[in-house]
Structure 1
Amino acid sequence: MKPRAVVFAYHNVGVRCLQVLLARGVDVALVVTHEDNPAENIWFGSVASVAAEHGVPTITPADPKSAELRAAVSAARPDFIFSFYYRHMLPADLLALAARGAYNMHGSLLPKYRGRVPVNWAVLNGETETGATLHEMAAKPDAGAIVAQTPVPILPDDTAAQVFDKVTVAAEQTLWRVLPALLAGEAPHLPNDLAHGSYFGGRKPEDGRIDFTKPAREVYNLIRAVAPPYPGAFTDLDGQRFVIARARLAPPGAAPADLPPGLAVSDNALLAICGDGRAIAVHELRHQHDGIETVVTPAGFAQLIHSSRHS
């Protein structure tokens, strides 16, 4: 008899991990996902579409603690509950409905970077490695026993989106590799030592505001961590908002020594001058005005600043 599962899933990791379960012959009795938020940039795949293609019933409850959701999960009689980038914590009484355990896929190498948006935090903090971890779900977030994990490198110029693509593959590989043992009741359950880990909360668009007085490496890490499709690292200048969408850390000595911290044009190139005197070469600068975003050239940036100061 096939093992039955209820799957809570969203985003690309949700898509790929749901597909792994189906490919491994798991009977997915119910998928629980989110309604897409029209105010959000939906740049990722649809779990609901994958479920529909495979004829799996799907629900999108707003409250993970609702009696209706608990009843739906109970009626599915799951052996396992899986959570793949579902955005809500699941209550303990709901997890207890899984006869053989409840497991979550997290986008870091636990116990490091428990909590929200772990990939963005890892890039922001200049990490050189992260990964994906399948672990038991517990009352605390990302705190249960570790079943399997797969590392991926973070290269010096990787954006968070590029790292997230790697983590998605790592999540797929992790689940594919360990699932047969998990279904057979033979998977390892290793300690998740929270004392040697870290926890980070969510991030808001305002957290992308650039402080140019900081060292160039810190500013560059912020740019990489929130680069599109995320909201982007930005600065407000003369009442106008500019988003640095693509950039590269310039070598020492690349910037004229007399430029103060901030955006500047030098030799027809856009630079972000930082507090340690180093520069970041800005390869794509976006100007936001009245809800419209346009890419501006060095000459266009200079003209916008000139016009705003003489209007």
Structure 2
Amino acid sequence: MSTQANQAAQAPRAVVFAYHNVGVRCLQVLLARGVEVALVVTHRDNPNENIWFGSVADVAAEHGIPVVTPEDPADPVLAERVRAAAPDFIFSFYYRHMIPVALLDIAPQGAFNMHGSLLPKYRGRVPVNWAVLHGETETGATLHEMALKPDAGAIIDQTSVPILPDDTAGEVFEKVTVAAEQTLWRGLPGLIAGNAVRHPNELAAGSYFGGRKPEDGRIDWSQPAQAVYNLIRAVAPPYPGAFTDVAQRRFVVTRARLSRTRVPPGLPCGLQVVDNALLGICGDGNAIVIHELMLDGKPVTPEQFSQLNH
């Protein structure tokens, strides 16, 4: 047998559960590292969701990899497909469902997940959005073993990225996607060789957060300006955006900045027009300068806002 054929025979096999941009990039890293991906499990795109990210299914199709989109990862039919693929590894890259432990156990060399935070901080759902909301100055991506609890297994490797003061969650997610790619690229050789070091995932030192609902984007103008600004950044497009209701109309703040000057005293909290500029007056007397305010999907000028509400 030639050296090339021998290497091909020894190529590790994997079943990959993946979605979103992190799924796209990490799938490509596996292929670049010579992993034979025998099956990709992903989601059907939801027509009610803003699909601003890449398609794992398209990447798999380009490489001739079979794709399945089960509604329930506990479906016995899926377990049979995974078992038939005879994977050495199972990987999960931004797949949105918990994968049953019985499924994970099919892979003799382990099951590993890429999470968009510096574990043990921000376990759970939408970790980038939560990190921005809480005013964090860094986050990152963590490759870890999968366990019964979400994001609870031993840490293989992680990469940090900065969160700048005006970064939106979308901008941070782009950095985290690159961090995920770097982390997997660095960690794969050790996993394949079977000598990857496991680091403890100290859950008691971290935090867990659930998913966010549309109502969570409602602005509470009585909060300090920094807290309001963090919310605006955390849900800015491509996410649905922070909103406020005025005169039975819903206005969405899509672009804003913290004001560098004190606002005139006595202005009530909420959206106000001051010197032909849209401001969000906050509970600590500071303001948010609104650079883009939307109503029914269309931008609203300060003059239009004044006319609508008088």
Q: How many Å apart are 1:258 and its aligned residue?
A: 2.0
Runs (4+) of structure 1 exceeding 2 A deviation are none
Does residue 120 (structure 1) correspond to residue 124 (structure 2)? The answer is no
Could you state the TM-score of these two structures normalised by the residue count of structure 2? 0.96
27, 32, 45: which one aligns with 1:23: 32
7, 11, 18: which one aligns with 1:2: 11
Q: Quick one: which amino acid aligns to residue 151 of structure 1? A: S
How many Å separate the matches in 1 of 2:264 and 2:30?
A: 56
Counterpart of 2:48 in structure 1 is 39
How many Å separate the matches in 2 of 1:121 and 1:237?
A: 26
Q: How many Å apart are 1:252 and its aligned residue?
A: 4.1
165, 168, 172: which one aligns with 2:177: 168
Counterpart of 1:177 in structure 2 is 186
Counterpart of 2:7 in structure 1 is none
Q: Quick one: which amino acid aligns to residue 260 of structure 1? A: P
Q: Matched residue of 2:309: which SS?
A: helix
Q: How many Å apart are 1:295 and its aligned residue?
A: 0.7
Aligned-residue identity in percent: 74
> Equivalences for 1:217-296 in 2 at 5 Å?
217-253=226-262, 255-288=263-296, 293-296=297-300
Q: What runs of 5+ residues in structure 1 fail to find an aligned partner?
A: 307-311
How many Å separate the matches in 2 of 1:209 and 1:181?
A: 45
Counterpart of 2:98 in structure 1 is 89
CA-based RMSD of the aligned residues comes to: 0.6
Does residue 215 (structure 1) correspond to residue 241 (structure 2)? The answer is no
64, 70, 84: which one aligns with 1:61: 70
Q: How many Å apart are 1:303 and its aligned residue?
A: 1.5
How many Å separate the matches in 2 of 1:155 and 1:239?
A: 35
Counterpart of 1:157 in structure 2 is 166
How many Å separate the matches in 1 of 2:46 and 2:187?
A: 33
Q: Quick one: which amino acid aligns to residue 269 of structure 1? A: A
1:68-125 alpha-carbon deviations (Å, 9 max, x no partner): 1101100000000000000000001000001100000000000000000000000000
Q: Quick one: which amino acid aligns to residue 273 of structure 2? A: V
How many Å separate the matches in 2 of 1:166 and 1:66?
A: 34
102, 107, 117: which one aligns with 2:111: 102
79, 84, 95: which one aligns with 1:75: 84
Could you state the TM-score of these two structures normalised by the residue count of structure 1? 0.96
How many Å separate the matches in 1 of 2:143 and 2:16?
A: 14
How many Å separate the matches in 2 of 1:213 and 1:111?
A: 32
Q: How many Å apart are 1:251 and its aligned residue?
A: 1.6
How many Å separate the matches in 2 of 1:302 and 1:183?
A: 63
How many Å separate the matches in 2 of 1:243 and 1:234?
A: 4
Counterpart of 1:188 in structure 2 is 197
How many Å separate the matches in 1 of 2:171 and 2:57?
A: 24
Does residue 49 (structure 1) correspond to residue 58 (structure 2)? The answer is yes
How many Å separate the matches in 2 of 1:297 and 1:94?
A: 54
Q: Matched residue of 1:7: which SS?
A: strand
Does residue 203 (structure 1) correspond to residue 207 (structure 2)? The answer is no
Q: How many Å apart are 1:170 and its aligned residue?
A: 0.1
152, 156, 166: which one aligns with 1:147: 156
Q: Quick one: which amino acid aligns to residue 169 of structure 2? A: A
How many Å separate the matches in 2 of 1:116 and 1:206?
A: 16
